[in-house]
Chain A
Amino acid sequence: MATENYKLLKKESLPALFDKLTASGKTIYAPVKKGDKTEFDVVTKYSNDINDEYIQTVQSLKETVFPKVEKLFDYKSDKTDTSIQEVDFSKFPQNVLWGLHPCDAAAFRPLDATFRWDYDDKYFLTRIKLTTVVGLSCSKHDDYCFCSSVDISPASGDGSDILLTKNKAGDYLVEIITEKGQEVYDMAKELFGEISDDKESYITDVPKKFELSELNKNLDGSFEAPYWLAQSMRCIGCGACAYVCPTCTCFDLQDEGSANKGSRIKCWDSCGFGHFTLHTSGHNPRETQSQRWRQRILHKFSYMPDRIKVFGCVGCGRCSRACPVDMNLSEHLTKIMEVPKHE
């Protein structure tokens, strides 16, 4: 518990700040109350519907850098010539993602690692360069959260350009983390003050359910383990977990149009679908749900850290909340930890 110096953003300054951001051409996504849920939505002005005390939304904001439906290019073909029309990258929007929790902010790291893995994905990289993240630390959590188990703290600024922490007065302690964050501050200096306060006192404690490095070691050699079948029995093989996950990046490419003109589209897909790995030959290396469930876990907690040095999970808990049959991820991981390590 330590009192430190922070910049201060008073709640009553938010309307002016949002107006400045909108006026500068930025599109703001903020967590908005919808009934008894909170979901991210585009806002042009600040309003009292913006919720700074939500635990988690159903959908993540990965769609701002990895859209659900993204046109890659158009094509035109006549008797003699085929041509491709690229999308206009200069039209991609400048986005401010307001009020993301530290887990969501941290999710940009595995997204970045994946989209730079074997080639640089221009669509993702252009969008993320235009994105400013204003994070919001967590004052509460629920049973589904497990950020601390994947080495992310509910107070972490990793992945945020600015991190806000709500204090007892309802104002925000401000930490400027990156140059982009500094730009936002510089644009609206007069709205920020100074304050000494104890940030830690406002942060919720998310108990660790397992030790991440040990989980990673435990999964080594677990390919033939019998628990994959038992764990995956109730999984119905939909794509809900992959779609709400802020780090999942599986996609499909579809050509839509006619022989003469059309477009190539990238759209979301899920490794949980039965035909995800179906080959043209008819062979399917992952033809059972247990193989697909194993793939999901190993990909996020074993293959990704081993190959691209980043874990594919930020502990936000969305997958478990969205799952129609309660395939609680952290519960399954904890159970795996209870099994003696396989050689």
Chain B
Amino acid sequence: MNEFEPKVVAFVCNWCTYAGADLTGTSRIKYAPNVKIIRFPCTGRIDFMLILKAFAKGADGIIISGCHPNDCHYTSGNFHAKRRWMVFRTMLDFLGVDVNRITFSWVSAAEGARWAEIVNSTVDAIKKLGPYDNYRNMVNQETEVNNG
């Protein structure tokens, strides 16, 4: 049976969530293989355009994860990120983008099991939502021969 396997892109910070994901692996905890992890020094570095580009390139779902408040390796990067996401999520929702396809989380370097839970629950949710055809159809416009 061909079940839809979503593509999920995870933007994570190096010091907390990435380390946490490492711990998931070293603990031999199995989790959904649908996620591609992209490592950033800090969630504060995550530009909102990256999220749009991920959807444009074929992502069906996105995870953005970093250090818990007050634990940021750079002190305040995650606070800036939080404000940015609060505004960007409002923007996306206003435009009719499915914000349920984006999971935001704080996952620390010690939370290996929790990372697996975040990924698994996100992949399950995206499976139910299906492929993000709306966004992909918008992008494929450019390859049509344009007749004015």
Contacts and interface: CB of A to CB of B under 8 A. Distances in A.
Interface of A: 27, 61, 63-65, 67-71, 74, 87-88, 91-93, 95, 256, 263, 265
Interface in B90-148: 142-148
B142 A91 contact: no
B148 A63 contact: yes
B147 A93 contact: yes
A321 B146 CA distance: 27
Contacts of B148: 61, 63-65, 67-68, 95
A92 B147 contact: yes
B147 A71 contact: no
A302 to B, nearest CB: 30
A91 B148 CA distance: 13
Contacts of A265: 142
A68 B145 contact: no
B147 A69 contact: no
Contacts of B143: 71, 74, 263
A93 B146 CA distance: 10
A92 B143 CA distance: 15
B142 A67 contact: no
Contacts of B145: 71, 87-88, 91-92
Interface residues of B, number: 7
A70 B146 contact: yes
Instruction: Kindly name the residue among B145, B147, B148 whose own CB sees the greatest number of chain A CB atoms within 10 A.
Output: B148
Contacts of A256: 142
Contacts of B147: 27, 64, 67, 92-93
Given A69-B146, A263-B142, 6 more contacts: A27-B147, A67-B146, A69-B142, A71-B143, A92-B145, A263-B143
Contacts of B142: 69, 71, 256, 263, 265
A324 B144 CA distance: 32
Nearest to A89: B145
Contacts of A64: 147-148
Nearest to B139: A256
Contacts of A88: 145
A67 B145 CA distance: 10
Interface string B37-58: 0000000000000000000000
Contacts of B146: 67-71
Contacts of A71: 142-146
Contacts of A69: 142, 146
Nearest to A61: B148
Contacts of A27: 147
Contacts of A70: 146
11 contacts: A27-B147, A61-B148, A64-B148, A65-B148, A68-B148, A71-B144, A71-B145, A71-B146, A92-B145, A93-B147, A263-B142
A92 B144 CA distance: 12
A208 to B, nearest CB: 33
Nearest to B147: A93
A330 to B, nearest CB: 28
Nearest to A70: B146
Contacts of A61: 148
B121 to A, nearest CB: 31
A40 to B, nearest CB: 10
Nearest to B57: A258
B59 to A, nearest CB: 15
Nearest to B142: A256
A292 to B, nearest CB: 27
A265 B144 CA distance: 11
Nearest to A127: B148
A40 B14 CA distance: 54
Contacts of A92: 145, 147
